[in-house]
């Protein structure tokens, strides 16, 4: 993979060569950790240890009188093994430390999650308390408004006095109403009696008028008859 890099001041483009990808880098790093290879140059420690061990085994398997060489090669192998073991012990210590850190981190995460859960629960409780406080405040405001309305009203003694006076007025009005009703009933009866008397009087007047007319008619007839009788007697006397 090639990328261009521009050098400031020269205006030239230099090609940077990246030999490995990210995946290949991970594989190489893993291999170096397993083989204790800390650099790409030189012989890996594990290979060097293998060579020391192989040299020692080959020397031991010889039939020659090579006791000193075996001792020398064994010491070299042990030294190389000790050299190879030291980084392993360091790596083990680092791994143990990382595991402890990871455990501490997990405990810290658990504690943080627990605190977050507790904080969320506290937030919910505070929300409920806030709603209850709003309702309680609303009730207090309503009570205060009612208290102000009550304070604007006259005292109970004065109100009771007004009520008693109104009750007296109501009783007087009821008595006056009762008296008026009785008087009205009496007036109704008197008016009915008056109408009856007027009706009887009118009937009597009409009857008297009829009688008077009848008497006048009879008187007129009698007078007429008398006049006729008088004229007849005169004529008789004249004939004689």
The predicted-structure confidence for 145-194, as pLDDT tens digits, reads as follows: 998 888 887 788 888 888 888 999 999 999 988 988 888 888 888 888 88
136 domain-assigned: no
Whether 172 and 104 share a structural domain: no
Domain of residue 182 covers 156-222
Banded pLDDT at 240 (limits 50, 70, 90): very low
Banded pLDDT at 27 (limits 50, 70, 90): confident
Q: Among 79, 106, 123, where does a domain finish?
A: 123
Whether 60 and 118 share a structural domain: yes
Q: How does DSSP classify residue 154?
A: P
Banded pLDDT at 31 (limits 50, 70, 90): low
**Dihedral sign for Cα atoms in the order 13, 19, 24, 28:** negative
Whether 173 and 116 share a structural domain: no
pLDDT for res 35: 56
Whether 115 and 33 share a structural domain: yes
237 domain-assigned: no
Please name the residue that has the structure tokens 């291999």: 31
Residues 40-99: tens digit of each pLDDT: 456 677 777 788 788 878 877 776 777 777 888 888 888 878 887 887 788 888 889 999
Contacts (Cβ under 8 Å, ≥6 apart) of 225:
none
Whether 29 and 111 share a structural domain: yes
pLDDT for res 20: 62
144 domain-assigned: no
39 domain-assigned: yes
Whether 164 and 93 share a structural domain: no
pTM score of the predicted model: 0.36
Q: How many separate domains does the chain show? A: 2
Q: How does DSSP classify residue 65?
A: S
Average pLDDT of every residue of the chain = 79
80 domain-assigned: yes
187 domain-assigned: yes
Residues 97-142: tens digit of each pLDDT: 999 999 999 999 999 999 999 999 999 999 999 999 999 999 999 9
Whether 52 and 119 share a structural domain: yes
Helix axes 67-152, 45-60, angle to 10 degrees: 150
């Amino acid at each position: 993979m090639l990328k261009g890099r521009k050098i400031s001041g020269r205006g030239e483009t230099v090609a940077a060569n990246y030999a490995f990808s990210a995946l290949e880098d991970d594989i190489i790093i893993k291999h170096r950790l397993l083989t204790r290879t800390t650099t790409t140059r030189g012989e890996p420690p594990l290979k060097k240890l293998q060579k020391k061990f192989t040299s020692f085994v080959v020397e031991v398997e010889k039939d020659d009188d090579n006791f000193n060489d075996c001792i020398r090669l064994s010491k070299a192998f042990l030294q190389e093994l000790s050299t190879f073991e030291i980084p392993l012990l360091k790596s083990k210590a680092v791994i143990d430390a990382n595991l402890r850190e990871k455990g501490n981190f997990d405990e810290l995460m658990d504690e943080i999650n627990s605190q977050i859960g507790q904080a969320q629960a506290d937030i919910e409780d505070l929300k409920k308390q806030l709603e209850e406080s709003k309702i309680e405040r609303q009730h207090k405001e309503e009570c205060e408004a009612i208290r102000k309305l009550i304070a604007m009203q006259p005292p109970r003694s004065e109100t009771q006095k007004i009520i008693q006076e109104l009750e007296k007025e109501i009783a007087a009005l009821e008595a006056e109403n009762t008296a008026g009703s009785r008087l009205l009933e009496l007036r109704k009866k008197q008016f009915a009696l008056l109408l009856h008397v007027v009706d009887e009087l009118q009937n009597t007047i009409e009857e008297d008028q009829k009688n008077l007319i009848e008497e006048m008619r009879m008187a007129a007839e009698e007078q007429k008859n008398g006049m006729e009788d008088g004229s007849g007697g005169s004529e008789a006397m004249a004939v004689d």
